[in-house]
Structure 1
Amino acid sequence: LPQPKPEAEPVLSGRACFKETITTKLQHMYVTDLSQCIISAPGPVGSIHVKNVTQAIVSLVSDGPVFIHDFTDAILIVKCHQLRVHNTKNVKLFMDVGSKRAIIEQCSALTVGLYPGSQNMVEIDDFSWPTKNQANPHYDFSTESPNYNWVDSIGDGSLSPEVVRRL
């Protein structure tokens, strides 16, 4: 799989038990190695690559592609033009994808739903399950409307143990 360009230094890396709102003027945002956190990137950013995230709520807005790699036990709320999700398990994914297609590969236990306020259905192309003739065991669709407004009331910085338990 393609790795981020060497000049793409992480905007955020190696953090745990915190909330951060990321605003950047960079064309490409790279975030890696996060756990027990809340990340918001209201953007829009040209492209986003997020890798190695565990037990988190991540909200992203991009004008271009978003690449998600190695997410576990997380909630991902994403609005972008193109979405690719790789090696991800036990994740709730709420999305609005301009291309109307999301690509997943080596994923399991995904729950897929619409981005808050969106009516744009997204078709899933699973490279690990190329047939459309049988139900895909890697994801389920949900009609749940994500309500994570409680996250907005939490300031950036360290998270209390009570908040970490909700993740």
Structure 2
Amino acid sequence: MAAHGATEGTALAGGDQCITNMDEKREKMTGRLQKREEERLAEIERKRTERENASLKHEKVDYFTSMFAQEKLKIELKLDLMENDGDVDKSKVNHHFDEISHAVQNLQKFVNDSTMFLPSYDIKTAQENVEKLQSLISTKREELLPKKKFAFKARKKNSGAPKKAAEVDGGKKVSDMAQVISDTAKMECSVSDKTNETVSLDANTTNNKDVGLFRLTGCVVKITGAPSAVHVSDLKDCRVFCGPVPGSVFATNCVDSTLVLSCQQLRVHTTKNTKFYLHVTSKAIIEDTTGVEFAPYNWSYDGIEEHYKTTGLDRNRNNWDDVDDFNWLASDKHSPNWTLIPEDKRVQQWDV
């Protein structure tokens, strides 16, 4: 009887263990099914969020395109309405131009604020349209209010022999030189054709004006004040220092140079081996450019705080390390065309 009772007890214990194992398996199976269901629901939510974000982004792009076209048309109409009637009231015309320039600056800001969701092509197209508007303003201003330009000009050299008909200015083709003259004429303040010189442009010269630097070699240029825009082209082995610019800085064909700039937007074209110490409130854009390096803006001079107030440029917002390369479309890899200057390699204090 005792043996029979022990056997029965063992059987009951084995039955309990079997039930326990089944319960554990059931719990594990339930846990796996629950986890799978949670993952399925999470995937559904992720896809829904992606669809909503894509739709929202599309709506933002559509809104930008519509608003940009409207504001651009308003500016063009205002320019078209301005005609030269001979004896014009210069103060009224200047005021009208100031209003139009302010509208273009607002349009530029609208572009800058929208770059976070706009495709690169749309950014490029919008920026090109803003540049065309700025050029139209300069052309129309020159047409209605012609005046003697402030410019540093290169001293003419008389070699004693006439140049060939197809060549001017040291071998430049006539067509190239015509473009150079056209670009310079649009500037209200320009420095051109200098070698190994130091040039300073103060606020009285640059405030609210387009400033141009063209064909300089081995020069140091200091721009203080609040120019409306700065155009830099064909610089070699130069150093440029510039105070706050409420609009854009355009750099083209710069080689082995250093540009210390503060602006709303920077556009760089066909430039090589050049360093930028930058304060930019939107982002830098490069195109057909290689070997450029970036570091934070670190130039100062007496009066710079007042110039920042005049321009409205936000000192606390600096996207110096956010660079958009229009020639590099891979989003998962860094563009090889630009890099950041290591901290131990940056110039800490400028001797200008």
Pairwise TM-score range, normalised by the shorter structure = 0.7 to 0.9
Query: What's the CA shift for 1:121?
Result: 3.3
Q: Under a length normalisation based on structure 2, what TM-score does the superposition of the two structures give? A: 0.40
Relative to 1, partners in 2 of residues 1:41 and 1:64: Cα closer, same or farther, differing over 3 Å? same
Aligned residue in 1 for 2:186: 8
1:90 and 2:273 matched: yes
Q: What code does the residue aligned with 1:112 have?
A: F
Q: What code does the residue aligned with 1:49 have?
A: H
Query: What's the CA shift for 1:64?
Result: 1.1
**Greater displacement, 111-120 / 29-38:** 111-120
Rounded to whole Å, the distance in 1 between the matches of 2:264 and 2:220 is 23
Q: What are structure 2's unaligned runs of at least 5 residues?
A: 1-127, 139-181, 300-314
1:40 and 2:238 matched: no
Aligned residue in 1 for 2:151: none
Superposition map of 1:7-156 within 5 A: 7-9=185-187, 11-23=190-202, 24=205, 25=207, 27-61=209-243, 62-99=245-282, 101-116=283-298, 120-122=318-320, 123-144=322-343, 145-151=346-352
RMSD: 2.2
Equivalent residues of 1:45, 1:63 under 8 A apart: yes
Q: What code does the residue aligned with 1:77 have?
A: V
**Greater displacement, 29-38 / 139-148:** 139-148
Greater RCO (Cα-Cα under 8 Å, separation 6 or more)? 1
Equivalent residues of 1:94, 1:146 under 8 A apart: no
Count of residue pairs brought into register by the alignment? 150
Equivalent residues of 1:71, 1:87 under 8 A apart: yes
Larger helix percent: 2
Greater CA radius of gyration, 1 or 2?
2
SS in 2 for 1:65: strand
Q: Under a length normalisation based on structure 1, what TM-score does the superposition of the two structures give? A: 0.80
Relative to 1, partners in 2 of residues 1:131 and 1:43: Cα closer, same or farther, differing over 3 Å? farther
Equivalent residues of 2:208, 2:226 under 8 A apart: no
Q: What code does the residue aligned with 2:319 have?
A: M
Equivalent residues of 2:239, 2:257 under 8 A apart: yes
**Greater displacement, 129-138 / 79-88:** 129-138
SS in 1 for 2:186: coil
Rounded to whole Å, the distance in 1 between the matches of 2:217 and 2:262 is 22
SS in 2 for 1:108: coil
Rounded to whole Å, the distance in 2 between the matches of 1:47 and 1:140 is 25
| CA deviation string 1:97-141 (max 9, x = no partner) | 012x11000111111111117772331110011222112110111
Query: What's the CA shift for 1:148?
Result: 4.5
Q: What code does the residue aligned with 1:79 have?
A: S
Relative to 1, partners in 2 of residues 1:90 and 1:125: Cα closer, same or farther, differing over 3 Å? same
Q: What are structure 1's unaligned runs of at least 5 residues?
A: 152-167
Query: What's the CA shift for 1:44?
Result: 1.5
Rounded to whole Å, the distance in 2 between the matches of 1:66 and 1:19 is 20
**Greater displacement, 88-97 / 142-151:** 142-151
Rounded to whole Å, the distance in 1 between the matches of 2:342 and 2:226 is 26
**Greater displacement, 136-145 / 56-65:** 136-145
- Provide runs of 4+ in structure 1 moved above 3 Å: 1-7
Q: What code does the residue aligned with 1:21 have?
A: S
Aligned residue in 2 for 1:156: none
Rounded to whole Å, the distance in 1 between the matches of 2:208 and 2:193 is 20
